[in-house]
Structure 1
Amino acid sequence: MNQLTHPDLYYPFPSHINKYIDVLEAHDLEWVLRFNLLANESSYQRFCKSKFFFLAASAYPDSNFEELKIAHDWLSWVFIWDDQCDLSELKKQPEILKNFHKRYLEILNGAEVISQDTLFSHALIDLRKRTLQKASLKWFKHFVNYLEDYFCGCVQEANNRAKGIVPDVNTYIKIRRSSVGVYAVLALAEFCNQFMIPDVLRNHYLVKKLELITIDIISWSNDIFSASREIASGDVHNLVFVLHYHNQISLEEATKQVAEIHDIEVRSLLSLESFLPSFGKELDIDIAKYISGMHSWIRGNFDWYSHSFRYHNSEMLKLTEFKE
């Protein structure tokens, strides 16, 4: 299919870039090659063109270098695994995906490596160790829960592909909020900025609403920029395609509608922020940091699209060899 035109999107948040971006770029391939996560040429080329170092430096602009490296490696792991879920033969094998995810969660919760473990498992053991050298176990448990939610979203998408289902709009939105993985990467903003929001804020209904709006903003911008690739590859998990399919409108009109939904959500985020009450001096500082992290991810993710070639082709990936 022809490349869809990307409409202008509303972004009132300023662009920032981490001062360590050049050093991070030099590190870009080091970790993934050490664990052989790019085991075939298509995966290697795709990773290089994606420029995840730019995404990490844009999404976590104030991070120290060691935390930034770890966050970058988490992003790399998630995106490489996401490609396996979306673009390899695993895309229609939900039960096999469940088994992989079950083992990954065991690893993240402290299980020892065994001979049957995959390259992805070995990489997770390294990430867990390095992360816990910098973060509390309590924060890490929150992070693992968010990864579990992401894994569930990937399985739901695979189940739809296997059954040939195009989810309705409401069902798709629910799945997308999990499969996009934003809860986990927002938690990395806490890690990178060396703080953890207390439970009284994490569980507050207004904070949860801010998180949900942020997730939707990032989801809909991603769906706009990835629509051409995903539709060409036959994937139905994109709001542009779902609106096109169920509302029987053109892809161009569907893209325009998704852009309008995106911009409404950005304005809703700003409006909700203006109505936040004071939680007290210390908690207000924490929530300000957390909201700043949301803004950085929203803007950094958008800026990344103009530097990355991740969504410029629809090639099918070979399944990565999982054994060492």
Structure 2
Amino acid sequence: MRVPDPPQVPDNSGPLSLLRRRTYLVILPITVVAALVIYLLSAGQPGLTFNTVALPALALGVLLLLLGLLSGRMPLRSVEHGFYVLVVATFLGKYVASVTHQDAPPDTALVEVFIWTPFVYVLAFLIDTPRRAMSRSAAVSALGILIGSYGVLSGTMPLVRLLEFHLAQGIILTMLYSLSSLKNQVLALQGQVGEMHRLAHLDPLTGISNRRQLELQLGHEVLRSQRYGTPWCVIMFDLDDFKGINDAHGHAVGDEVLREAARLMQREIRGTDLLGRWGGEEFLILAVQIDLPYALALTERLRAALAAHPMPGPGHVTASFGVAAYRDSESAESLISRADAALYLAKRAGKNRVEGALVRVDAPLQMPELHNPFPVAPPAEQTEVAQATSRWLSTFELGPQDDVSRTHLAGTFAQLAAALHPVATGRDLRLMADWYCVMFLHDDRCDASGIGKDPPRLHTLTTRLMWALQGHQPAADDEPLAWAMADLSRRLRDVGGDPWLQDVTEHVSAYFRSLSWEADNRARGVIPTTDDYVRMRPLTAGLAIDEAFLSLVDQLRLPGHVYAHPAVRALTQHANRAVCWSNDIISLEKELQGGDVHNLVLVLRQERGMGLQDALEAAAAMYHQELERLIDAPRHLPDLGPELNVHLARYVQLQQLRVGGILEWSWRSKRYQLGHGSGLPA
């Protein structure tokens, strides 16, 4: 079956035209140079020869074509045909000159013509379809036969040489036509195969990969991970309330929403990821070379982008996302099943959210024993403080809605305040419990709402809270946290005075800036380096704020130059790091399941290429190292005189009390623990 010639590609469109243009930008200058070189070599010959007349004309004509191509004023097709006309005219002129030149031997005349023959015919097949090129070449060959026949009749060319010459031309033309036709057949078959592949592997509605292609790629990724151990995740998402869109706006609008969602996600995902339509309004992303914390951060960015994107018909559309990371020796079916289960959890939790897939593991993490050289006896139940704080939270509609749960929350932080400040009065314990509740509720809301991964939203929130802490009245419609912070600001000023509140405000400002650093990392899915994390972690824990309360609640009086002494600063640093590393170890499972990347264990795992258990052990070693330094630090403290030495000794005791008290409280509160070994993300 004859395959028809492919249609001519429109001028200046597509990669083929770009390739042709680049080809002529090379061929045309070479032709100009070749013509001028041959002209110069022929310049010394006696008489007026063909080269001295035709070659300058050829060089000038080709140069004009080159300038027209470079300037864009001459279409590519015009350049091609103009070049072909110049070449054919020069070829035929050379043939005529060779035949009519009586002094040249016949063989020499034919050789001068024959060496240019392939170039003329190849050029014809380059610029046109095989049939048109064959017609043009046949016309040129016929003119050549007429010119040669004149030479035979005039006695300047033997008949045998003419027959040989044109027989060779016929063989060249036949081969060129066959090769060109074969090329077109191959291109046509490639187009058919490509179309069949597109129909088999692309979704006809959205133009992205269909389920068949996704299943094939899933198999490839499973094999690659099993061979090389590379991490990867699947992200399954489903447009929320899509049936309602079809019912309210029609299926045509629903189809356009699917297409627009696919286009948006295709722009937002990384170049290495594969997006496909799994079925209906459900999509799947294969995210390669990525761990679960990174994948959750990426997915949160996709969720926010989709929610903010205007859609035809409904205006805005949201989606629920389920993320699962590949486990060793897991099948693709199991991986998809876990992502689907996480997606179901996101739907049940209220939609427009991201959930990570959790699984039980055969070899759960073995939590290392954290030695505590500064044990703190559990403080007595702070019932009155807890009830007062619970009522205060209820005033601002903060915390759990029911009284029992809210009082339990308040009691948890009242006990923390009592553990860290054993000599504090009821008023001070109440103030500390209120402060801790506000800070932790702020932290919880950032995690639950996605604000902790959205730097602009976080900046807006912390700006309002800082405004309230500085004593400004919140707006009437401002959020409850801002009103609670304004109330705390007034009470803190009454107890500690303006200078002390200013000191607290500066520490809170630094704390909020460190949270912005965390949010930026989370938004980009970046695990910080160990050095950056060690430097920033005490700030993100708000430990400088806690230290400010030592002078208020524990009535510790130390001059500023004492706090600035290198030995005192080192002691504080060791205490802060011990608190942070113990907290990171205890909260690891919760942060893994939540997809957080800010944990010492994950930082060590990323930077040192460790397994999770080895990184956990390394973090425990760093914690114990800070303990040893904290124990040794008092030996290097300065001698400040009897009165200041008493206060300095009290400061050392409070720092040690804080390390031991927070560790004991963390173990007892279960705030960060989800049950060791109960479940880890895949």
TM-score scaled to structure 2, two decimals? Answer: 0.43
Contact conserved, 1:19 with 1:61, CA < 8 A, in 2?
no
Matched, 1:210 2:574: no
Matched, 1:235 2:564: no
Partner of 1:303: 664
Partner of 1:90: 451
Given the alignment, which residue of 113, 130, 135 partners 2:474? 113
Query: 2 CA distance for matches of 1:117 and 1:4?
Result: 44
Contact conserved, 1:59 with 1:297, CA < 8 A, in 2?
yes
Partner of 1:154: 515
Partner of 1:254: 615
Q: Which has the higher strand share?
A: 2
Relative distance call for 1:28 and 1:126 in structure 2 (3 A) is closer
Partner AA of 1:62 in structure 2: V
Return the offset for 1:116. Answer: 4.3
Bigger relative contact order, structure 1 or 2 (CA pairs below 8 A, ≥6 apart): 1
Return the offset for 1:262. Answer: 0.5
Contact conserved, 1:147 with 1:181, CA < 8 A, in 2?
yes
Matched, 1:183 2:544: yes
Query: 2 CA distance for matches of 1:45 and 1:5?
Result: 33
Partner AA of 1:272 in structure 2: A
Contact conserved, 1:49 with 1:308, CA < 8 A, in 2?
no
Deviations 1:126-153 (A, max 9, x none): 1111122221322222211111121111
Partner AA of 2:366 in structure 1: T
Relative distance call for 1:92 and 1:172 in structure 2 (3 A) is same
Given the alignment, which residue of 482, 488, 493 partners 1:127? 488
Stretches of structure 2 that go unaligned for 5 or more consecutive residues are 1-358, 676-682
Partner AA of 2:396 in structure 1: F
Given the alignment, which residue of 405, 424, 430 partners 1:63? 424
Relative distance call for 1:50 and 1:152 in structure 2 (3 A) is farther
Moved more, 141-150 or 224-233: 141-150
Contact conserved, 2:605 with 2:611, CA < 8 A, in 1?
yes
Relative distance call for 1:257 and 1:46 in structure 2 (3 A) is farther
Deviations 1:192-242 (A, max 9, x none): 112343212222222222222111111000000000110111101000111
Moved more, 72-81 or 278-287: 278-287
Partner of 1:99: 460
Contact conserved, 1:28 with 1:52, CA < 8 A, in 2?
no
Query: 2 CA distance for matches of 1:265 and 1:224?
Result: 14
Contact conserved, 2:529 with 2:607, CA < 8 A, in 1?
yes
Q: Secondary structure at the match of 2:459?
A: helix
Moved more, 265-274 or 2-11: 2-11
Partner of 1:264: 625
Deviations 1:158-213 (A, max 9, x none): 10111111111111222212111111112222221123432122222222222221
Partner of 2:441: 80
Deviations 1:5-61 (A, max 9, x none): 3211222113145557343344452222222122668xx679739922221111111
Query: 2 CA distance for matches of 1:81 and 1:115?
Result: 20
Query: 2 CA distance for matches of 1:145 and 1:263?
Result: 31
Q: Secondary structure at the match of 2:668?
A: coil
Matched, 1:285 2:646: yes
Query: 2 CA distance for matches of 1:190 and 1:6?
Result: 36
Partner AA of 1:97 in structure 2: L
Relative distance call for 1:195 and 1:178 in structure 2 (3 A) is same
Relative distance call for 1:54 and 1:274 in structure 2 (3 A) is same
Query: 2 CA distance for matches of 1:202 and 1:112?
Result: 34
Relative distance call for 1:14 and 1:312 in structure 2 (3 A) is closer
Query: 2 CA distance for matches of 1:129 and 1:188?
Result: 16
Return the offset for 1:281. Answer: 2.1
Relative distance call for 1:49 and 1:107 in structure 2 (3 A) is closer
Return the offset for 1:309. Answer: 2.1
Partner of 2:336: none
Contact conserved, 1:4 with 1:227, CA < 8 A, in 2?
no
Return the offset for 1:75. Answer: 0.9
Q: Secondary structure at the match of 2:376?
A: coil
Q: Secondary structure at the match of 2:393?
A: helix
Relative distance call for 1:279 and 1:19 in structure 2 (3 A) is farther
Partner of 2:558: 197
Partner of 1:10: 371
Contact conserved, 1:50 with 1:309, CA < 8 A, in 2?
no
Relative distance call for 1:197 and 1:136 in structure 2 (3 A) is farther
Q: State which structure, 1 or 2, has the greater radius of gyration over its C-alpha atoms.
A: 2
Moved more, 124-133 or 286-295: 286-295
Deviations 1:65-107 (A, max 9, x none): 1011101111111111111223321021111211221222222
Aligned residues: 312
Partner of 1:320: none
Partner of 2:397: 36
Relative distance call for 1:205 and 1:116 in structure 2 (3 A) is farther
Query: 2 CA distance for matches of 1:290 and 1:132?
Result: 23
Q: Secondary structure at the match of 2:496?
A: coil
Partner of 2:134: none
Contact conserved, 1:15 with 1:299, CA < 8 A, in 2?
yes
Contact conserved, 1:18 with 1:62, CA < 8 A, in 2?
no
Query: 2 CA distance for matches of 1:305 and 1:5?
Result: 18
Query: 2 CA distance for matches of 1:215 and 1:233?
Result: 24
- Root-mean-square deviation (CA), in Å? 2.3
Partner of 1:144: 505
Q: Secondary structure at the match of 2:558?
A: coil
Given the alignment, which residue of 198, 216, 222 partners 2:583? 222
Moved more, 289-298 or 189-198: 189-198
Relative distance call for 1:305 and 1:291 in structure 2 (3 A) is same
Query: 1 CA distance for matches of 2:523 and 2:623?
Result: 29
Moved more, 298-307 or 133-142: 133-142
Return the offset for 1:274. Answer: 1.5
Q: Secondary structure at the match of 2:588?
A: helix
